[in-house]
Every structure is written in structure tokens, then in C-alpha cells.
């Protein structure tokens, strides 16, 4: 299982949002580049980067900061947030340090874009399924749909998607533990590589997520508050 420290960027700063609510923001650093270098220095093998401005508004306003992160680190990243055109997909995936891009809203609203992206880049295209009470939410989590998250996952697999970043919105940023039951159901019923996200607050959460067969886990707020030490979390990558 892979460990992904999260770097969420909003207005040029490294932040965390509670349950995805833009009004409940905690700023942890004014310099996301320094944060990325810190996680790499400790031993992270991957980073999870999200452009929150892009997720909310559809514009990648933090692209210069993301580009600078990529220029300064040597480890691969996955990037999400407002990636809703082939131009943005091409821009990121032209960089060899970008292991994959994550489509969210566009995977639902623009199925043709999803098909074109998968055809062009294969498993370097992942999809973020952000769910609340089992239903998919889009546009930076502010718009709920009546699309069942697991059924959506099955449909994505049929379209050639291999990796899903699965987030339980109610858990994100709350340090209350991940939604193990929902994550396990997503793994068992879709057969996809599931990277779990949301609510990780202690090492036992990582152990549990590993036991249910997740391909990876994203850790955000717990790292920034010190509840989890990255060096200790990374030990769970080992067999």
C-alpha cells in the first residue's frame, strides 16, 4: 500500500478544509513548495496535490506553484482539482514527474473527455469519487448528485479506469477515522485499485485500510497537526 501526503493548495497556500467546506479553512503553510520538499525529505515516495481553486472554480489558478513543486522535487505526484480539459491533462502529463491526473467533476459531466483521456493516457488517468451518504458529489463537493458511488465505480472500470481516489466527504478533515465500511465495499464491489482518503487520524487507521486491501491512502490533516508522523506512516508501505 502506498502512502500519499496531501498538499491542498488554495490562494497559493497549503490548506485543509473541514468536510470540503470552503468556509472552514485552516492554513498550514504559505509555501506549498517547502511543504512538498519536507515530505520528500522525510521519505515520501509519492505526493497527492489538489488545486482547490481549480476544484471550486474550474480554473487552475495555482498552476505556477504546482509547476514549481514539480521542478523542485524528485518523487512522482498525482494531481487533481479542476482538470476539465485535454489541454490541462496534456499539460500535466507531459511532465514525467506526474504519475497520474485525477478527474472528478469532468468524469461525470464530460464522459467524452474521460474516454479521450483514457484512450490517450491509459492508467495515468484516475478518477476521484467523492461521496456523501453513498452519493457522488461534484464541483468541489458543493453539488450532490443522485449517482450511486459504487455503481459509478463499476461504470468507470468498464470504461478502462483502473485507479480511484475514494473520499468520504463527511470524514474529510475531521480526524474521526475513515469510513472503513464504505471503502471496503468500494474495493470489493468494483475490483478497482482504491486509494482511500478522508478522516485518517492515527496509525491504526492506516493499518485498517491496508487490511481491507486498499492500494493506497492519502493523509492530510493528521500530518499537519502532528497526530501522525509521516516517518511512522511510511512503515506501512512495507510488506
What would the grid cell of residue 9 be? 493548495
User: Exposed, middle or buried: residue 51 (CB in 10 Å: 0-12, 13-18, 19+)?
Assistant: buried
- Distance, in Å, from the CA atom of 130 to the CA atom of 71, rounded to the nearest integer, reads 29
Catalytic residues: 8, 130
Kindly report the number of other CB atoms within 10 A of residue 207's CB atom.
11
Which uninterrupted H or E stretch holds 231? Answer: helix 230-233
- Distance, in Å, from the CA atom of 144 to the CA atom of 79, rounded to the nearest integer, reads 22
At 210, is the secondary structure helix, strand, or coil? Answer: helix
- Distance, in Å, from the CA atom of 71 to the CA atom of 234, rounded to the nearest integer, reads 24
Contacts of 98 (CB under 8 A, 6+ apart): 70, 76, 77, 78, 79, 92, 124
The percent helix, strand, coil of the chain (3-state, each to 5) is 40, 30, 30
Among 138, 96, 102, residue whose Cα is nearest residue 117: 102
- Distance, in Å, from the CA atom of 2 to the CA atom of 180, rounded to the nearest integer, reads 17
Contacts of 142 (CB under 8 A, 6+ apart): 20, 22, 56
Amino acid at each position: 500500500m502506498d502512502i500519499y501526503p496531501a498538499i491542498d493548495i488554495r490562494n497559493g497556500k497549503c490548506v485543509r478544509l473541514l468536510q470540503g467546506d470552503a468556509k472552514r479553512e485552516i492554513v498550514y503553510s504559505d509555501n506549498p513548495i517547502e511543504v512538498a520538499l519536507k515530505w520528500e525529505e522525510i521519505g515520501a515516495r509519492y505526493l497527492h496535490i489538489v488545486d482547490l481553486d481549480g476544484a471550486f472554480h474550474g480554473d487552475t489558478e495555482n498552476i505556477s506553484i504546482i509547476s514549481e513543486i514539480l521542478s523542485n522535487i524528485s518523487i512522482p505526484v498525482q494531481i487533481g482539482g479542476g482538470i476539465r480539459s485535454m489541454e490541462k491533462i496534456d499539460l500535466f502529463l507531459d511532465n514525467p514527474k506526474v504519475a497520474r491526473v485525477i478527474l472528478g467533476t469532468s468524469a461525470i459531466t464530460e464522459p467524452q473527455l474521460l474516454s479521450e483521456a483514457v484512450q490517450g493516457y491509459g492508467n495515468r488517468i484516475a478518477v476521484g469519487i467523492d461521496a456523501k451518504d453513498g452519493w457522488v458529489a461534484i464541483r468541489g463537493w458543493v453539488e450532490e448528485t443522485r449517482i450511486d458511488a459504487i455503481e459509478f465505480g463499476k461504470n468507470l472500470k468498464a470504461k478502462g479506469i483502473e485507479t480511484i481516489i475514494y473520499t468520504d466527504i463527511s470524514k474529510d478533515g475531521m480526524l474521526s477515522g475513515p469510513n472503513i465500511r464504505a471503502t471496503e465495499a468500494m474495493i470489493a464491489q468494483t475490483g478497482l485499485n482504491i486509494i482511500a482518503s478522508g478522516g485518517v487520524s492515527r496509525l491504526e487507521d492506516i493499518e485498517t485500510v491496508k487490511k481491507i486491501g486498499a492500494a493506497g491512502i492519502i493523509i492530510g490533516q493528521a500530518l499537519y497537526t502532528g497526530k501522525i508522523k509521516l516517518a511512522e506512516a511510511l512503515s506501512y508501505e512495507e510488506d
